[in-house]
DNA sequence: TTGATTTAGGTGTATATACTCCTATATTGA
DNA sequence: TCAATATAGGAGTATATACACCTAAATCAA
């Protein structure tokens, strides 16, 4: 392992963040006509596929912090794409569901997403894209492992 | 190419963003004792390695939007880790440089970074990490290609 | 049953990201 | 020279991210 001053390219975190920034800009540009950003599309598309979910459940599936998702759904609620209902069984929870408007928006955005996906795969290569997704998925689902010192009682 | 409703795992953008979120949390936790976040460390470490740079040059190297870097250096300036000087040749530009305090901070944070890097590589595998970095780097440096319709005159 | 603990989610705060529009300076061309 | 253009960077706005701390509701244990 080299020093980052000698080899800044060696940092896994920096490499992933740079790639995420770059790719997000591409997808965001293609999604722009749909009036959504990549993160918003990922939320709506997941709700469309899985049906109503609680905030915690959806955040976990999206590998997103619970509080981040709580903030990210605010503009979607404001725009009437998502509705929130108090959980029937557990009254602490909140069920998120797509509205009619949200369903329509997802369908429209899907066309944009396809273009972004096609553009990326044609320029980066479908094979390498597949390998990248597989590695990225393994990273996202991997155990964080023993992190910084946690003081337990 | 499958529908994202059928195969949300197929989205390159989502996969990269999830991985970046996950890994950033790990690195941020290890960097916490240094009082910096991963992005801040990447800025200081680059300045340390390359010496004074303008905002545009540094942003380009970090694969970061110019305006994003402009915002990201504000807390670093506030904390006295970075100093800004008007460019000598081109008076529109601004030269960013590490202060003494900034140099010391980078040295201290390097230890934290090493721990984060070691933790990640030991849990994910050094070989797969190397492959991931190589793909991520190719993505970050790749031509965005023909993006959404741009209206040129 | 009821007090302790756990869990679902929100709030305050801070940083990260990038688009659009703006000003100032530099460069270029007639 | 000087007007047109290009470039460096900032400001306004909006979303994205997550930690620490808080409240309410559910669960567990004595």
Q: In this structure, is residue A150 part of a structural domain?
A: no
Asked if B119 lies within 8 A of A1 by C-beta distance, the reply is no
Q: Contact at 8 Å (CB) between B133 and A15?
A: yes
CA of A43 to C1' of C14 (A): 24
Spatial distance between the Cα atoms of B53 and B44, rounded to a whole number of angstroms: 11
Structure tokens at B86: 């008007």
User: Which single residue is written with the structure tokens 């003494």?
Assistant: B100
Give the model confidence (pLDDT) of B71-120 as tens digits: 999 999 999 999 999 988 999 999 999 999 999 999 999 999 999 999 99
Tell me the CA–C1' distance in angstroms for B12 and C10: 32
pLDDT at B147 over 80: no
Instruction: Note whether residue A77 is domain-resident.
Output: yes
Residue A26 has pLDDT above 90, yes or no: yes
Name the residue with higher pLDDT: A8 or B47. B47
- Which of A18, A20, A6, A2 has the alpha carbon at shortest distance from A133? A20
What integer pLDDT is reported at residue A87 of this predicted model? 83
Please report residues of B whose CB lies closer than 8 A to that of A142: 22, 123-124
What is chain B's length?
153
Which residue from B118, B119, B143 is facing A123, i.e. has the nearest CB?
B143
* Chain A hits for B114, Cβ within 8 Å: 1
Beta-carbon separation of B42 and A8 below 8 A: yes
Q: Would you say residue A98 lies in a domain?
A: yes
Domain with A51 in it: what CATH number? Answer: 1.10.10.10
Domain range for B104: 39-135
The total domain count for chain A is 1
Tens digit of pLDDT for each residue in A54-80? 999 999 999 999 999 999 999 999 999
The order of strands in the sheet holding A82-86 is: A53-54, A94-98, A82-86
Distance CA B143, CA A123 (A): 8
Task: Inspect the interface and report whether the beta carbons of A117 and B146 lie closer than 8 Å.
Answer: no
Convert the pLDDT of each residue in B10-34 to its tens digit.
999 999 999 999 999 999 999 999 9
Does the pLDDT value for residue B142 go beyond 90?
no
From the list B29, B49, B136, the residue facing A148 with the nearest CB is: B29
> Six-digit token pair at B37?
């976040």
A112 inside domain: yes
Which residues from chain B sit within 8 angstroms of residue A144, using beta carbons? 22, 25-26, 123
DSSP state of A109: H
Question: Two tokens at B109?
Answer: 């944070």
* Residue B110 forms part of a structural domain: yes
Residue burial B20-44, b: 16+ Cβ < 10 Å; e: rest = bbbbbebbbbbbeebebbbbbbbbb
Residue B134, pLDDT above cutoff 60: yes
Interface touch B63/A21, C-beta < 8 Å: yes
Strands (E), B58-105: 82-86, 94-98
Residue B127 lies in a domain: yes
Does residue A65 lie within any of the structural domains?
Answer: yes
Per-residue model confidence (pLDDT) at position A104: 97
pLDDT digits (tens, 9 = 90+) for A119-144: 999 999 999 999 999 999 999 998 77
């Amino acid at each position: 392992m080299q020093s980052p001053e000698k080899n800044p390219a060696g940092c896994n975190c920096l490499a992933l963040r740079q790639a995420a920034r770059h790719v997000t800009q591409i997808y965001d540009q293609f999604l722009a006509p749909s009036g959504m950003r990549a993160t918003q599309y990922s939320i709506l598309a997941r709700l469309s596929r899985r049906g109503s979910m609680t905030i915690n459940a959806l955040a976990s599936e999206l590998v997103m912090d619970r509080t981040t998702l709580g903030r990210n759904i605010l503009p979607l609620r404001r725009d009437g794409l998502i509705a929130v209902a108090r959980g029937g069984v557990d009254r602490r929870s909140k069920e998120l569901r797509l509205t009619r408007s949200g369903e329509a928006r997802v369908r429209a955005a899907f066309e944009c997403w396809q273009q972004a996906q096609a553009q990326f795969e044609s320029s980066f290569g479908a094979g390498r894209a597949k390998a990248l997704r597989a590695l990225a998925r393994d990273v996202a689902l991997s155990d964080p492992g023993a992190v910084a010192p946690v003081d337990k009682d």
